[in-house]
Amino acid sequence: MRCFVPPDDWQTSEMELSRDEVHHLHTVLRAKAGAPVFAFDGHGRTAECEVVEIDRRRARLRVLQQHIHPKPSPEFILLQGLPREQKMDLLIQKATELGVHRIRPVQTDHAVARIREGNEESKRARWQRIALNAAKQCGAVWLPEVDPIQPLLTCLTEMQRVDLLLVCSLEPDTQPLRAVMQSARETQPATVAFLVGPEGDFSARERAAARNAGGRAVSLGDSILRTETASLFVLSVLSYELSPGANGA
Rg of the chain over all Cα atoms, to the nearest angstrom: 20
Do 44 and 100 sit in the same domain of this protein?
no
Do 37 and 113 sit in the same domain of this protein?
no
Longest C-alpha distance within the chain, in Å? 62
The average pLDDT across 128-136 equals 95
Do 195 and 158 sit in the same domain of this protein?
yes
Quote the pLDDT of residue 249.
44
Do 26 and 94 sit in the same domain of this protein?
no
201 φ, ψ (degrees, to nearest 5): 65, 180
Do 24 and 135 sit in the same domain of this protein?
no
Quote the pLDDT of residue 139.
93
Average pLDDT along the chain: 91
Quote the pLDDT of residue 248.
44
Do 59 and 178 sit in the same domain of this protein?
no
pLDDT in tens, 166-204: 999 888 889 999 999 999 999 999 999 999 998 778 899
- The whole-model pTM stands at 0.90
Q: How far apart are CA 210 and CA 156, in angstroms?
A: 7
Dihedral over Cα of 2, 192, 149, 176: its sign: negative
Domain boundary, last residue among 68, 91, 124: 68
Q: Which CATH number covers residue 233? A: 3.40.1280.10
Domain boundary, last residue among 68, 88, 109: 68
Do 117 and 50 sit in the same domain of this protein?
no
Quote the pLDDT of residue 113.
67
pLDDT bracket for residue 75 (50, 70, 90) = very high
pLDDT in tens, 80-126: 999 877 899 999 999 999 999 999 999 999 876 677 777 788 899 99
Report whether 76 contacts 189 (CB < 8 A).
no
Task: Examine the pLDDT at 212 and tell me if it is beyond 50.
Answer: yes
Domain boundary, last residue among 17, 48, 68: 68
The average pLDDT across 21-38 equals 91
pLDDT in tens, 152-171: 999 999 999 999 999 998 88
Do 109 and 190 sit in the same domain of this protein?
yes
Do 23 and 43 sit in the same domain of this protein?
yes
> Which of 240, 236, 232, 218 lies closest to 83, judged by CA?
232
* Count of domains forming the chain: 2
Do 165 and 239 sit in the same domain of this protein?
yes
Report whether 17 contacts 59 (CB < 8 A).
yes
The average pLDDT across 42-64 equals 94
Q: Residue 167 belongs to what domain range?
A: 75-248
Q: How far apart are CA 191 and CA 207, in angstroms?
A: 21
Quote the pLDDT of residue 223.
87
Residue 196 CB neighbour total at 10 angstroms: 27
pLDDT in tens, 220-233: 988 889 999 999 99
Q: Which CATH number covers residue 44? A: 2.40.240.20
The average pLDDT across 7-35 equals 92
Report whether 102 contacts 159 (CB < 8 A).
no
Do 18 and 124 sit in the same domain of this protein?
no
Dihedral over Cα of 69, 70, 76, 78: its sign: positive
Secondary structure of the chain as H, E, C letters? CEEECCHHHCCCCEEECCHHHHHHHHHHCCCCCCCEEEEECEECEEEEEEEEEECCCCEEEEEEEEEECCCCCCEEEEEEECCCHHHHHHHHHHHHHCCCCEEEEEECCCCCCCCCCCCHHHHHHHHHHHHHHHHHHHCCCECCEECCCEEHHHHHHHCCCCCEEEEECCCCCCEEHHHHHHHHHHHCCCEEEEEECCCCCCCHHHHHHHHHCCCEEEECCCCCCCHHHHHHHHHHHHHHHHCCCHHHC
Do 50 and 79 sit in the same domain of this protein?
no
